[in-house]
Every structure is written in structure tokens, then in C-alpha cells.
Amino acid sequence: MILDDLLKAIENGATLRIRYFGGSSAGSESELQPISVNDGELRALCTLSGETKTFVIDKMELVIEGVASVLAAAYPPPVLLYPTVNEFAAFHTASLQEQGWEILHEGQSLTLHRKLKNGKLIQNPDVALQFEAVTHDAIFDGEKFLEANHRDRSRPWIVRAKNKNTKTFGDFGRAQVTFLEFAKALAPKTLKQNAYPGSPQGRCAIRPRSASDFYDSPPVMPDSNAPTPHWSYPSMKELVEAEGAPFSAYFCFHYLSSQGERTIRTVRSTHVLFTSTEAYLVAHCELRNEKRVFRSSQVTNAHLLNIGTSLTNLPSWLRAHAPAHRTRQSKDPVVRETGTGYMAINTSRGLIHLSSQIYVQALNGVVVQPESESVNFLLERLPALSHDLALEIVQKLFQIHQKLI
């Protein structure tokens, strides 16, 4: 098992010849000196480039002379890359149209749009590939924002998509790969085929953040007669809206994304949720034209546009002015009601929501049957769960039962 080899290399300071199937060069070989392993990822020094990089362990294999690659069959060949947006658009137009997209191409910009039922094009794109060579700071002079400190972007290629983190790249090839991944994931025809009956905008009711985090194998989508699933993993936006306090305000601020992109956002907040160290805002973003979640610690140069005042410390201001907010402790209770017919159980994978029906049946089961049978019960009723996660939930339920008696 490659994990054992990596741990031994870390202990001995050895280097390994690795074949890696992540990134834009799937199947490329590298000489790596492993440094640490954490949560399914390897941090290692690449001896060729001299850079320290992070690799997904499940996408790695040792290179052994005379032995064929095992992972090669599991991963598609690399995406063909093109030197210009024109060539890239010309090659992929047909396949993108087959996915249900309407394509707009102008200069260095390529955007994908949906259509309304009446055939009218929705102007705001779902996916966009753009080249922005220059960025700037915005300074508020008390009346309006002024542009200042114009400079060249180090990562001028930008890929944006609804419900996805904006990605920036210095390399056009990597931007192409991400654009196609977003296009496939959000394709109108794909979402329509995978939607549960009545699910909003074609989104399925089970929303794991990453399939590999929660499933031994990808879940099979149910047919149109399938019942509503009995468990879900909420998105951060759903969590803030469910557990936070309603809070309406009109802000403008600089926002630093997790990818290091700084943008100016004008937003109208709807909810706020506090942890012991952070405040999260759900707000309608005028730039993205949709609801987004904002971490207050990533905000600078904030202004409250309702009354035209500057806010030097947004987290402190929110704690002082948000209405009777509830603070979500860093160590949540083992279980609690969500107010939506689900019970939220705190696990090592985050909050897992079980329907009240399944929760009661499973809780009663841990009292009268062996642990293994309780695990099998959950796996039978909820086949999308992995065995490890089902076992952890059963153990949590037993803790709850011990507190009740």
C-alpha cells in the first residue's frame, strides 16, 4: 500500500519515484521527498523543481520498473490544451452545446449560459473563463470608490462558476482544465438528469462536499419514484441560514477569497452565524448575482452603505450589532434538532443530518442489538454511507442513550 511506503520514506528521509494522476498532467512522473501526511494528502518536496507541493494520495502510485500503471485505467487521458481562447472555444463548442450550454465568446472571454423556458438567454453566466491582466485597489473617499494602485496580475486567467470557488491561474492550460470541469459539473442536461423530484434548480438532496469524503463508492442516483433520502450534509450557506440569526444590512467591502483573489463586493446580508473565532455572513452578492457566504475575517475596507459609515473591524461590529445572535460553539453537542425534521449529529466528517424517523429507529436499536447489527441497519437504510461513518454514528447514538438513562 502506497501509504505505508510514504510513511517509511518520511521516517527515513528517503525519496520516491511517483506517478501522479492529479492536476493537468495526469500520469506524469516525479521524484518526491515526502514530508508529511494529513487527511488523505501528502506534502512533499519535488526534487526536480525544488518546490514543496501537496498531492492527493489516492491519485498516486509508485513507479516500479517493468510494472505497468494500475491507476492509468481509472483516470482519463489529459485534456488537450490550446494556446489561444479562439482555438479552445472552436474545439469544445460542440461538446459544450451537447451538455446544454449556450456559449458566448468575445475576445479573451468565454462564458456559458442557460436558457429560460421561453428560449430567452439568461444574461448572467453560470461558468466563465476570462483574462484580466490588470488589477487595482479601490479607495472609498467618503462618497464613492476610486481606483488606485493599478498593477499586473500574477494569475490573470480567472475561472468563475455558480456555487464554486473562483479559481485564478498564471497558466492558461490549467484554466482550461478547470473551466471544462466546472462546465461538466454544472451542465444543464446533467443536472436535469440527476435531479430529485421537486429539488430546487436541479440540485440533488444529498450534498456531500466531496464524494470521496463520505462514500466507499459514489452513490447511485435514484429514479423518479425514489423517496427523499434520510440523510444529508448541509452546505455552509444552508448551515448559516438554518442556525444563524436573520440580519439585514447593506455592505461594500474588499474580499480576499481562499484562492487569494481580492475583489470588491457589494452585498445585502440575510443571515449571520458566529463561532468562537469567526462570523459568517450569508448575503446576496451583486457581483456574482447570487447568495454567497462570506467570512468576516477575510473582509477589509468595509462600509455600511445603509448609513454611509466606515467599519474598521467588521467581526467586532457584527457581534455588537447583530440581533440576539446564536453562537455556534467550536465543540458542538453530539446531537441536536435542526428545526427542519432532521437531527444533526456531530461526527469527525462534520455535521451529518439524519431524518427524525431514522434517528429514533437507530437510537432504539443500539439499546437492544449488537453494534454490528446497528451498523448494518444504517447501511441498509442509507446505502450512500460508508461503513466507517455508519459505525461512528452508531457509537455516537450509544453515547446519547447513556446520557438519557
Q: What is the mean pLDDT of each run of 10 residues along the chain (405 residues)?
A: 85 88 75 88 84 87 86 69 85 89 91 84 88 74 65 87 86 88 85 44 36 35 40 64 82 85 90 81 89 90 85 86 56 52 69 75 80 85 78 83 63
Contact 128, 122 (CB under 8 A): no
Exposure of 113 in the CB half-sphere (CA atoms within 13 A): 15
CATH class of domain segment(s) 2-74: mainly beta
Compute CA distances 231 → 191, 194, 276, 345, 382, whole Å: 20, 17, 27, 11, 8
User: Distances from the Cα of 388 to the Cαs of 52, 198, 221, 254, 392, in angstroms?
Assistant: 32, 31, 22, 42, 6
**C-beta separation of 350 from 233 below 8 A:** yes
Q: What cell numbers appear for 104 in the block?
A: 458566448
CA nearest 345: which of 318, 326, 324, 366? Answer: 366
Query: Where in the chain is CATH 2.30.30?
Result: 2-74, 236-321
Domain 236-321 falls under CATH 2.30.30: yes
